[in-house]
Amino acid sequence: MKVMNIRRCSVLFLEPNETVRFSLGAVFSGGDGLVRHSAWQAIAPHLENGMVGIDEGMVIMLGKLSPSRWVPWGDCGGTYEQVHALIQKGLVIAAEDIPGLEHFRLDDERVRAADWWPLAAASAGLGRWSDVDSAADMERNGTNTVAGLMKTREAPMPEPESSADTFLPRCESDAFDDLLRRRVTCRNFSVRALEHAVFARMMERVFAATHVKEPVQGLRFLKRSSPSGGGFHATDAYLLIQRVAGLEPGLYRYLPEAHALSRIEGCSDQVETLAGQMVAGQHWFSNAPVMVALVATYRRSFWKYRNHAKAYRALILDSGHLSQTLYLSATDKGMGAFVTAAINEKQIETMFGLDPLEKGVIAVCGFGYRAEEMTITEFDPGRAVWSATQS
């Protein structure tokens, strides 16, 4: 047989995973009715689903293999069948391509080249949802209301409060305080379309570059209304537009330097379905006239922050800042806004044509006019948005 050189994939975590299921048979045989099953799970970001099940023999073999040095397969202490099984799972990489499995080597090389901090790479890869309907799931298991939650868990322990030493003066409210008070996550959007100019204004305020500096060729620093880790502004706005005057419903990418849209072809007849998929079935968000997927391009940040424990965290924070600016900008223009991390990343990647090894969908925001009536609960205890008669 031809000598085949192999090495381990670059990022790999092994998790001893336990699944628990109820069995009537286990009750009759005198136990607590729960059947527990332990199995090893290999977590590796270059895999399509971010993980794959393995057995104990594979765990030992993987522990012996170098992720950097190629060795002949016979030196790894396993049988050819064991090595081949690990190659087919994508956890052991063969130097010479095996038909149908080349993508594992190519994707592993891309993870190596991307300068990820390994734990962040694993978390980003594994945390992506596909076809989740979180609204239906919560209704099914009764966790969509506080009363329902209380049936499934104890009340949280109150945290001990520190004693107050110095009381701070309360200030007269000004216009900015009023704006902050009116920021309430919107779950009741009107069918009213957005005026073109209002939409343009929102995009300009939140996502446009106000200045661009290029200290060396190819390295461009944008200035935006929100801060950004390292000043890289690695987060772009990918839009699903349902109702904006003068724009075809469909998918777009916003270009922050040109303050322009680039159309992403296809799907204009399916926007409603795509909107629902984007926000994992949360129908209280999916009829917003504009939804924005906040998409980070990893290499723009990792170019500087190589193998950096904080780089991915900074990208997540960047999306948080953009979403708050979007909330406040929408509130200022008499609109409602939302942000959610309960999203189907995989469907969003497919609809916008995003490569998950290059780009990560961190959150989805949306904005539009509020409906006349509140039919889905919003957190507005001060009635800053909804008067007592409206809700």
Ligand X SMILES: Cc1cc2nc3c(=O)[nH]c(=O)nc-3n(C[C@H](O)[C@H](O)[C@H](O)COP(=O)(O)O)c2cc1C
Site residues, ligand X (CB under 6 A) = 184-185, 187, 282, 339-342, 379
| CB of 167 or CB of 379, closer to ligand X | 379
289, 275 contact by CB (below 8 A): no
Give the whole-angstrom CA distance, residue 5 versus residue 121: 26
Q: In the complex, what is the shortest distance from the CB of residue 258 to ligand X, in angstroms, rounded to a whole number?
A: 29
- Which amino acid would we find at residue 20? V
296, 362 contact by CB (below 8 A): yes
Q: In the complex, what is the shortest distance from the CB of residue 283 to ligand X, in angstroms, rounded to a whole number?
A: 11
**Where are the alpha helices (H) located in the chain, listed in sequence order?**
24-28, 56-64, 80-89, 102-113, 118-126, 134-140, 146-152, 175-181, 196-207, 271-278, 283-286, 298-302, 311-332, 345-352
- Return the structure tokens found at 209: 């570059």
- Strand, coil or helix: 69: coil
- Which amino acid would we find at residue 258? A
DSSP output for 283-297 = HHHHT-SEEEEEEEE
| CB of 28 or CB of 379, closer to ligand X | 379
| CB of 126 or CB of 342, closer to ligand X | 342
H/E stretch holding 16 reads strand 13-22
Q: In the complex, what is the shortest distance from the CB of residue 363 to ligand X, in angstroms, rounded to a whole number?
A: 6
| CB of 228 or CB of 340, closer to ligand X | 340
| CB of 92 or CB of 184, closer to ligand X | 184
Q: In the complex, what is the shortest distance from the CB of residue 342 to ligand X, in angstroms, rounded to a whole number?
A: 4
Show the CA angle centred on residue 362, arms to residues 356 and 366, nearest 5°. 125
Q: In the complex, what is the shortest distance from the CB of residue 340 to ligand X, in angstroms, rounded to a whole number?
A: 4
Q: In the complex, what is the shortest distance from the CB of residue 351 to ligand X, in angstroms, rounded to a whole number?
A: 19
| Closest to 207 in 3D by CA, of 263, 266, 270, 261 | 261
| CB of 13 or CB of 386, closer to ligand X | 386
Q: In the complex, what is the shortest distance from the CB of residue 145 to ligand X, in angstroms, rounded to a whole number?
A: 12
Q: In the complex, what is the shortest distance from the CB of residue 7 to ligand X, in angstroms, rounded to a whole number?
A: 38
| CB of 241 or CB of 363, closer to ligand X | 363
HEC secondary structure over 115-156:
CCCHHHHHHHHHCCCCCCCHHHHHHHCCCCCHHHHHHHCCCC
| CB of 78 or CB of 366, closer to ligand X | 366
Q: In the complex, what is the shortest distance from the CB of residue 237 to ligand X, in angstroms, rounded to a whole number?
A: 17
DSSP designation for 387: -
First-last CA distance in the chain: 75
47, 106 contact by CB (below 8 A): no
Q: What share of the chain is helix, strand, coil (3-state, %, to 5)?
A: 35, 25, 40
| Integer CA distances (angstroms), 9 to 46, 57, 59, 306, in order | 8, 17, 13, 19
| CB of 117 or CB of 338, closer to ligand X | 338
| CB of 41 or CB of 144, closer to ligand X | 144
Q: In the complex, what is the shortest distance from the CB of residue 286 to ligand X, in angstroms, rounded to a whole number?
A: 11
DSSP designation for 385: S
